[in-house]
Amino acid sequence: MQYMALIYTEEGKGPKPGTPEFGAFMKGYMDANEVYKRDGVLIAGDGLKGIDTATSVRIRGGKTETMDGPFAETKERLGGYYLFECEDLDAAIKYAAMIPTVAFGTIEVRPVMMPEDYGK
């Protein structure tokens, strides 16, 4: 089953770029990526650019509307994701716990709805 691990953090939390702590933080990501690859669970994963680059899109009354920024105002912001192929939720949680941001942010793990799940 596929699981999406969404990486959330408050702006300004965690190590700052250019510091030794940031280097160790990024090494944690590289180490986790190696485990994911070795274990064959990694489908995809990337960081996202800052919320100042976000555009929200919706259609109202047949008209496409766009808004700068994320859809919802929250303290924690979506900063990246991983998509895992895991046997079960417990395995997905194990891999999500390896994401370095978990130490100061939140990792939301959700099963991906596959085409065969629609209508259930």
Among 109, 94, 87, smallest CA distance to 8 is for: 109
pLDDT for residue 115: 84
Asked if 77 and 51 count as a contact pair (C-beta separation under 8 A), the reply is yes
- With bands split at pLDDT 50, 70 and 90, how would you rate the model's confidence at 19? very high
**N-terminal to C-terminal alpha carbon distance within the chain:** 16
- Mean pLDDT, to the nearest integer, of 8-31? 93
- Residues 77 and 70 sit within 8 Å (Cβ to Cβ): yes
> What would the CATH number be for the domain defined by 2-115?
3.30.70.1060
pLDDT at 50: 87
Asked if residue 69 has pLDDT above 80, the reply is no
- How far apart, in whole angstroms, are the C-alpha atoms of residue 28 and residue 44? 17
Number of H helices, E strands in the chain: 2, 6
- pLDDT-derived band of residue 61, with 50, 70 and 90 as boundaries? very high
Q: What's the whole-number mean pLDDT along residues 3-11?
A: 94
pLDDT (average), residues 50-79 = 86
Kindly provide the residue ranges of all beta strands, DSSP E only, lying in the chain, ordered along the sequence. Answer: 2-10, 42-47, 55-60, 63-68, 76-85, 106-111
Rounded-to-integer distance, Cα 31 and Cα 119, Å: 39
Mean pLDDT of 47-60: 91
Q: What pLDDT shows up at residue 93?
A: 98
Q: pTM of the full predicted structure?
A: 0.88
